[in-house]
Chain A
């Protein structure tokens, strides 16, 4: 089956620094990638949708200048958390949708970010 990877799986950073999370589709081309955030004991919350080669579409309440998303190729999307604060500590998950089988969506394993 289709595989989506995320890197890193865990990251600890200091307040004020920036952190980049990568999401890769390993064996298919992902025309659309989604970034989710999950707080403890809560469900996933969609942050933004990115289509290859165009600007990401952010959900209401998500700061685009804080969470920079780049989808530069059909197999890679990145989420950069800029000027991180402790409240940004969360579990970030990406998923990718294959262009051909449009309703199939594959999830990455997630990245746990801790900001100290």
Chain B
């Protein structure tokens, strides 16, 4: 099984701060997903990437296949970014999920 480690587990930031969430995995993958889950429970897929870097608005996701590591960055954070961010890796069969990073952005 592909072990997925996220850090930090919990993160509190002030509005406007630059935020980084990290994800490491143990074996080769075909793709990596970054998901956002709000307190109500619904999951939103933010990024799916297999190499390089993707950007969507204030969110940036990068992946280093050789180092088996991905980062999710949030620029100019806002209280509405408060959510749990989950990294999931696709080894070709199904997804293995990290435990999530709980982010709280305060005004």
Contact = CB atoms under 8 A, between A and B. Distances in A.
Contacts of B50: 103
B43 A34 contact: no
Majority SS of interface residues in chain B? Answer: strand
Interface in B89-104: 90, 93-95, 97-100
A105 interface: yes
A44 B100 CA distance: 10
B29 to A, nearest CB: 9
Contacts of B93: 49
Interface string B56-97: 000000000000000000000000000000101010011101
Nearest to B33: A105
Interface residues of A, number: 19
Interface of A: 34, 38, 42-44, 46, 49, 91, 93, 95, 103-110, 112
Given A43-B99, A93-B43, 9 more contacts: A43-B86, A103-B48, A103-B90, A104-B31, A105-B33, A105-B45, A105-B90, A108-B43, A110-B42
17 contacts: A38-B41, A42-B99, A43-B98, A44-B86, A44-B88, A44-B97, A46-B94, A46-B95, A49-B94, A91-B41, A95-B95, A104-B48, A105-B33, A107-B44, A107-B45, A109-B41, A110-B41
Interface of B: 30-31, 33, 35, 41-45, 48, 50, 86, 88, 90, 93-95, 97-100
